[in-house]
Amino acid sequence: MTQTSSEEIHGYCTPLLPRQGMRHPGDFPKGNDTCVISMLQPIHQASVVEERQDVFSRILTNLHSLWVTSTYPFAGKGRKISLHYASEISRTFAPLIRLGNRVEVGKHTWFHTWYTPGLSGIQDVKITIEDDCLIAPRCTITAKNSIHFEHGVILGSDALIMDHNHAYENVGLPIKDQGCTLGGRIRIQEGCRIGNGVVILCDKGELVLGRNCVVTPGAVIYRSFPPDSVVSGNPARAMQKSDAKQTRGEHDSFQARMERGEAR
């Protein structure tokens, strides 16, 4: 009588266990730390590739920054400006843009404004970015009148800053054919921190974001806010006062105690 295996009884085949002395494909190799080394090799190789790409990106960015600042007719430019090689700044709009010292612009960030070639006289500067400002990747800054970043402003990624809007009053005409509104002016004062995906839109008048304001990610701002505000929501509203002054006061107090030898 032939013995029936358990696989035949249940109607399906199960993987056979390896015989004694045979090595299963899923077994770790023998030897001290061999499995750890084999696991670390692909991680190390990936890190090496990333480091090389990062070095290559920095080299391209440095060359691009040097070329743009040397050849573009900016209204004003400082020193140590870093413009990512994938950022978009048109030579045509350069006379209406002023960049301060140590300004950093991330990849795929787009500067746009209105420039009338052949117009007699000096046209007003429309985009001003003062010293030590950081513009993260994929931001859009488009100015019809004036957008001004004061010292030390940080703009998070995917932000949109517009001092005008698209006209849409005529329902019988496509929006793309209606042009834009007269717009206003935007001023973001010193030390503001603006989160990812924030929209700042000024349809008319002047919009001022007071110094040291903190804007949470995704906020949509249509109006001005006083200094040291924490701004959030759509439409944005002031949630509370930031502790920027308190933090500076605590830091100064700690420094004084350090000098007196009282801090531990």
Please give the pLDDT value at position 255: 44
Spatial separation of the C-alpha atoms in residues 231 and 215, rounded to whole Å: 5
CA distance to 122, 211, 213, per residue, from 152 (Å):
28, 10, 12
Residue 38 has pLDDT above 80, yes or no: no
Superfamily of domain 72-260: Hexapeptide repeat proteins (2.160.10.10)
More confident residue, 197 or 183: 197
Weakest-pLDDT range from 106-120, 186-200, 216-230: 106-120
- DSSP letters, 120-160, are SSPPPP-EEE-TT-EE-TT-EEEESSEEEE-TT-EE-TT-E
Q: For the chain, give the mean pLDDT.
A: 79
**Which residues have a Cβ under 8 Å from the Cβ of 142 and sit 6 or more positions away?**
110, 111, 112, 113, 161, 162, 163, 164
pLDDT digits (tens, 9 = 90+) for 133-149: 999 999 999 999 999 99
- Segment 72-85 shows an average pLDDT of 94
Per the DSSP assignment, residues forming a β-bridge with 173 are: none
pLDDT band at residue 165, thresholds of 50, 70 and 90?
confident
Any residues with CB less than 8 A from the CB of 210 and at least 6 apart, and which?
189, 192, 224, 225, 226, 227, 228, 229
Q: What is the pTM of this model?
A: 0.70
| 47-73: average pLDDT | 84
